[in-house]
Amino acid sequence: MPDAFIPYGRQDIDEADIAAVVSVLRSNFLTQGPAVPEFESAVADYCGVRHGVAVNSATSALHVSCAALGLGPGDILWTTPNTFVASANCAYYCGATADFVDIDPITLNLDPIALERKLETATRPPKIVVAVAYAGQSPDLRRLRTLADHWGFRLIEDASHAIGGRYRGKPVGGSGLADVTIFSFHPVKLITTGEGGMAVTDDHALAERMRLLRSHGITRDACQFQELDAGPWYYEMQTLGWNYRMTDIQAALGRSQLGRLDAMVARRQTLADRYDAALNDSGLTLPQRSPDCASAWHLYVIGWNPELSGLSRAEAFSALRSAGIGVNVHYIPVHLQPWYRAQGFSVGQFPIAEAHYRNAITLPMFPTLLEAEQDRVIDELLRLSQP
């Protein structure tokens, strides 16, 4: 075992998860049956929010929430460069464009002070701000809400890293501060449906709009019909939507996983505490813990110290990979991706995100990571990081 490759993230599937999936496979509905609404209610209840809209990925959840909030050609969406590309791509799917706000060097989340400065001088204010809960800790939602109310933009929390975390004592998604919160159920995230995502909101009309958009813009609800109900076969396509539906197979897996979410996050917390204790005097930069948050610990990201170790980040990264440790980097700043450069973005525009990227290393972090495996990661890191 000790020589096996340790990935940076991994799903945790148990027999109950498998049984839940098998029972859907034996049932009448593989999709559009009862499991999706049951999973939506279970997530909404868990978060203390009124509505959950399940879709086939967090990317789709970002798209339908932007579309439902009315983002369109001529509009602009702002987000953090320290994220996965999907947080910004949703703007372009809607015919709008994206711009970025640099991060706070401590929390590594979108910096509300930088946001305020940018709002004060912007010729075109954003219609939507997507703030990411980087690594599992929510951004400063209270200040972001104040700015949203003052400047009239809508606030999406991309909590793809953060289901199971808490913000000021409330479950992520249930703070009442963001207009919509997004979760991802990709296998490396906190709970999984294979592929999948959800948008949660307290806004009934917004949830209805997202439900319409995830399924071709079609409604079968007679109360919503615009034309005369022609008969029991009748349905209406009222707007242009997509097929972003989650299957019942996925939803059953998600609901089963949700039952273990708290235990899995608690395990991540234990592993984070062990990393903190072992690496405290290593000269590496360790993740900062915001007093407003209980992190879901999707990622444990350290800052490499090239001066102390005499090794560049790239050298350390390669040495760790060669030792069978599946380190990763989160994130290459989105504005530096070739497609974004082609939209006019360039190096130096968001220096704090760029500086974070230069030395970031993501360590293995997942609930089934064994302490012996984690000790291997720690030993290797300490060996490399000391002069």
Ligand X SMILES: *Cc1c(COP(=O)(O)O)cnc(C)c1O
The site for ligand X (CB under 6 A) is made up of 57-59, 83-84, 86-87, 132, 158, 160-161, 184, 186, 197
Residue 199, φ and ψ in degrees, nearest 5:
-110, 130
In whole angstroms, the minimum distance from the beta carbon of 344 to ligand X comes to 23
Name the helix (H) or strand (E) containing 59. helix 58-68
In whole angstroms, the minimum distance from the beta carbon of 164 to ligand X comes to 14
Strands 197-201 and 51-55: antiparallel
Distance CA 10, CA 187 (A): 6
Strands 166-167 and 293-294: antiparallel
- Which CB sits closer to ligand X, 282 or 328? 328
- Which CB sits closer to ligand X, 195 or 373? 195
The token pair at 168 is: 């000021």
The token pair at 12 is: 């945790």
Neighbours of 337 (CB within 10 A): 16
- Asked about 127 being catalytic, the answer comes back as no
In whole angstroms, the minimum distance from the beta carbon of 182 to ligand X comes to 7
Q: Which residues pair with 207 in a beta bridge?
A: none
Distance CA 83, CA 94 (A): 19
CA dihedral 91→50→40→77, nearest 10 degrees, is 10
- Which CB sits closer to ligand X, 158 or 373? 158
- Which CB sits closer to ligand X, 185 or 345? 185
The active-site residue out of 118, 127, 170, 189 is 189
Catalytic residue numbers read 189
